[in-house]
Amino acid sequence: MRNLRRLKSWEGLLLAILVVVVVNNAVQSPVYLSVENQVNLFQLFVERIIVALAMTFIIINGEIDLSVASVMGLASCLLAFLHEQSVPMPAAIVVTLTVGVIVGAFNGFWISVVGLPSLAVTLAGLIGYRGVARILVEDRSIGNFPEWFNRLGQQPLLDPLPLASIIFFILLVVAVVVLQYSAFGRYVYVIGNNREVARYSGVKVRRVKMMLFIASSTIATLAGLLLAARLGAVRGSTAEGFELDIITMVLLGGVSIFGGSGTLVGVGLSILLVLNLRNGMSLVNITSNTQTGVIGALLILSVLIPNWTQDARSLLSRRRRTGHTPVTGEEKGG
Amino acid sequence: MNKNLRAVVSLLTVAMLLLAACGPAATTAAPTQVPPTKAPPTQPPPTQPPVSGEPVKATPGQAVSMVLLPKFLGILPFDQAHDGAEEAATELKNPEALQFLGPTPENSVAGQIEIVTTATTQGVDAIMISNNAGDQIAPAAKAAVAAGIKVVTWDSPIPSAEGEQLFIAQVDFDETGTVMADMALSILGADGGQFAVLSASPDAANQNAWIAAMQEALKDPKYANLELLDIVYGNDQSEDSYNQALALVDKYPDMELIMAPTTVGIAAAAKAMQDEGLCDKVKISGLGLPSEMVSYTLNDCAPEFALWSFVDLGYLTYYTSYLLATGAIEGKEGETFEAGRMGTYTIEKDPTRDAGLRVLMGPFTVYDKTNVEAASK
């Protein structure tokens, strides 16, 4: 239960920083609070924060999916390729989403059935899927999508929110319900804490992992389609490097890279923090180099602070000779 | 359980607050935008016939907020363009400071889109883009234009020309092709030989156009003995370009020249040949900065290369954008204007892009042992 308090305090810290950032931004820039800017702030990162939701499940489960950005790229390139081959857009979207499911099942097979480390499997995926994407579009830039498709990506659907932002908020609610209030969510935590214990307690570890990797790739594929619509043109490098932004936001949200702990509240706060921080810095014309540095420093702190507090606590508990290791997953037991 | 619920509720509340706090007061109006009434009476009327009229002159001292957006930060040519733009800003006595904002190299595409979008929100008056995002930047640029912002590209245009009002072309793209073909001929000699191209990113509109122009130029019988083996991409990263250059040497043992139409690529390739002691066998040429190339030219690794002045390009880009943003010119074909120390220019159709308009700067300088030292100072 101490871990529980630790997490809450991390979220409290994130919230405090967020409030400072928001207030500071509002003071610094007259346009910061405008609807247009608040929508843009989400839109510029919307594909990445959608994928971050799925990544939260994966990391809490004690795994990692490095292939998400390449899957996004593959999705947008496959869509563009099919469009170029005169496949009707709706059919191309269905085919691409199906391929996304298959890619996820392929990743999941090696990880959950064969038992290879997800770091290695998805690193291979990062390289391999990007390779396929580049083969599909070569060195070209493919655009000229139908008007309705571009409009979905670039115009508000429910004024002022564009489709992608709406999808993000829907997925956020679904993710919170599944992770924090369902049996499946409990399994995700239990497996992340201790795979063996989970297995002996009758949790279907393989099935849970398989489902997570399928979900991760499918959501990344959806995000890739949304990205293609927002940019209106696609090339082989689309979404390159996004996996680092995504993992950064999840870890900054207090999700342990070793699995077993973290909440979507933390990730939600971290997403808001990163987006508002970057937006605020952009609005006062701070260069990208500095922005990257600031986000990096935050991430280092997010890893260090919990570690320090944990060290201090384990020192205390060793003195008391309790020898008890708290299990965060149990917090959802109620 | 309750704690969790409370946390979720507070998260959603924060999100709602962020989205709603602004309320109806917020509009898309750009607060810093120069109202047309600001134009002093001395300014030439915008309705003047563009073709026959006298060259338009700038009225100094008008407040226009301008953003200079390079492909990414941290390489010399863009810093030089920045210097040139600052020079023009000082001359034009623009009270608004020039913002030089660029993405990091590994985040160039998403970063450029982000900067254009943020600048649109800020309501700046002009954005000057060296485009590295291909057509992917078009939606963001179109949104900027729709918000009344002048979008000018320089160095590298938007291929479809959508969302772009003018392109400040450093040199004629066809001329670039001929200059590169001539340098190849001069280095390889009349007997000719095999050579390869080391370019920047596959989607860099400028490099692609120059390579295409060179391939076109090579059809001339004069260049019949020159054989182009391959085109590879170093993504304007030194290490990538260095490795690509060495890979070319391994792949084509008879290759005698690498032509790199990018300042990063040419320096990296020259360093690779020098490091491996291959300068006698494989020469380097292309587009380079004298200050970066001087040692390679003097030791004969890169006997000849060409470039235009990035300082001038930044100066002309700023000057033209200032004229556009103050309403002195409209950005129509045939308009003629004066750009300070650089003289008179005319807006014309861009021969390489159907829908594009350009201002052509030019010309090229070819550097060799005789003039590279002076230029590198």
pLDDT digits (tens, 9 = 90+) for A12-41: 889 999 999 999 999 999 999 999 999 999
Torsion angle (degrees, nearest 10) of CA A26, A31, A33, A34: 170
Q: List beta partners, residue B307.
A: B365
Mutation target among A231, A275, A278, A289 for the B interface, most CBs of B within 10 A: A231
Q: From CA B114, how far away is CA A122, in angstroms rounded?
A: 28
Q: In this complex, is the C-beta atom of A156 within 8 Å of any C-beta atom belonging to chain B? A: no
Mutation target among B3, B12, B19 for the A interface, most CBs of A within 10 A: B19
Q: Taking the CB of residue B58, how many other CB atoms lie within 10 A of it?
A: 22
The CA distances from residue B187 to B285, B296, B297, in Å, are: 9, 14, 12
Q: From CA B312, how far away is CA B166, in angstroms rounded?
A: 17
Q: Which of B22, B27, B109 lies closest to A38 in CB terms?
A: B22
Per-position pLDDT tens, chain B of length 377: 444 545 444 444 444 444 433 333 333 333 333 333 333 334 444 444 444 568 899 999 999 999 999 999 988 889 999 999 999 999 999 999 999 999 998 888 999 999 999 999 999 999 999 999 889 999 999 999 999 999 999 999 999 999 999 999 988 878 889 999 999 999 999 888 999 999 998 877 789 889 999 999 999 999 999 999 999 999 989 999 999 999 999 999 999 999 999 999 999 999 999 999 999 999 999 999 998 999 999 999 999 999 988 999 999 999 999 999 999 999 999 999 999 999 999 999 998 888 899 999 978 889 999 888 877 76
Q: Give a three-class secondary structure readout of B280-305.
A: CCCEEEEECCHHHHHHHHHCCCCCCE
Q: Are A51 and A303 in contact (CB under 8 A)?
A: no
Cα angle, residue B307 at apex, residues B303 and B312 outer, rounded to 5°: 150
Q: Say yes or no for a CB contact (<8 Å) between B121 and A235.
A: no
Tokens matching residue A251: 């870890």
Per-position pLDDT tens, chain A of length 334: 455 555 557 888 899 999 999 999 999 999 999 999 999 999 999 999 999 999 999 999 999 999 999 999 999 999 999 999 999 999 999 999 999 999 999 999 999 999 999 999 999 999 999 999 999 998 788 988 999 999 999 999 988 899 999 999 999 999 999 999 999 999 999 999 998 899 998 999 999 999 999 999 999 999 999 999 999 999 999 999 999 999 999 999 999 999 999 999 999 999 999 999 999 999 998 988 899 899 889 888 877 877 787 778 788 777 765 545 444 444 443 3
State in Å, rounded, how far the first CA of chain A is from the last one: 13
Q: Are B225 and B192 in contact (CB under 8 A)?
A: yes
Burial of A159 per CB tally in 10 Å (0-12, 13-18, 19+): exposed
Looking at beta carbons, which residues of chain B come within 8 Å of A176?
A: 8
Q: Say yes or no for a CB contact (<8 Å) between B136 and A150.
A: no
Q: From CA B103, how far away is CA A156, in angstroms rounded?
A: 26
Q: Say yes or no for a CB contact (<8 Å) between B139 and A231.
A: yes
Q: Say yes or no for a CB contact (<8 Å) between A141 and B134.
A: yes
Q: Are A67 and A125 in contact (CB under 8 A)?
A: yes
| A277 contact partners, CB below 8 Å, separation of at least 6 | A21, A294, A295, A298
Cα angle, residue B286 at apex, residues B281 and B291 outer, rounded to 5°: 100
Mutation target among A14, A20, A33 for the B interface, most CBs of B within 10 A: A33
- 3-class DSSP assignment, residue B279: coil
Q: How much is the CA Rg of chain A, to the nearest whole Å?
A: 21
Q: Are B195 and B248 in contact (CB under 8 A)?
A: no
User: Strand ranges (DSSP E) for chain B?
Assistant: 66-69, 99-100, 126-129, 150-154, 166-169, 193-199, 226-233, 255-260, 283-286, 305-307, 336-338, 344-349, 357-360, 365-367
Q: Are B126 and B119 in contact (CB under 8 A)?
A: no
Helix (H) or strand (E) holding A147, with range, is helix A147-154
The distance of A333 to chain B (nearest Cα, Å) reads: 9
Tokens matching residue B161: 């020309």
Which residues numbered 36-75 in A keep a CB inside 8 Å of some CB on B?
Answer: 36-40, 43-44
Q: Say yes or no for a CB contact (<8 Å) between A272 and B115.
A: no
| B325 contact partners, CB below 8 Å, separation of at least 6 | B34, B64, B66, B125, B126, B150
Looking at beta carbons, which residues of chain A come within 8 Å of B110?
A: 44, 242
Q: Are B149 and B124 in contact (CB under 8 A)?
A: yes
Residue matched to tokens 């009229």: B53
Q: Which of A34, A238, A241 lies closest to B26 in CB terms?
A: A34
pTM of the full predicted structure? 0.79
Q: In this complex, is the C-beta atom of A322 within 8 Å of any C-beta atom belonging to chain B? A: no
Q: List beta partners, residue B336.
A: B346
Domain residue ranges of chain A, discontinuous segments joined by +: 2-316
Burial of A148 per CB tally in 10 Å (0-12, 13-18, 19+): exposed
Q: In this complex, is the C-beta atom of A248 within 8 Å of any C-beta atom belonging to chain B? A: no
Could you give the ipTM of this predicted complex?
0.84
Q: Say yes or no for a CB contact (<8 Å) between B113 and A180.
A: no
The CA distances from residue B112 to A231, B81, B115, in Å, are: 12, 17, 5
- 3-class DSSP assignment, residue B233: strand
pLDDT tens for A252-296 read 999 999 999 999 999 999 999 999 999 999 999 898 889 989 988
| CATH class given for the domain over A2-316 | mainly alpha
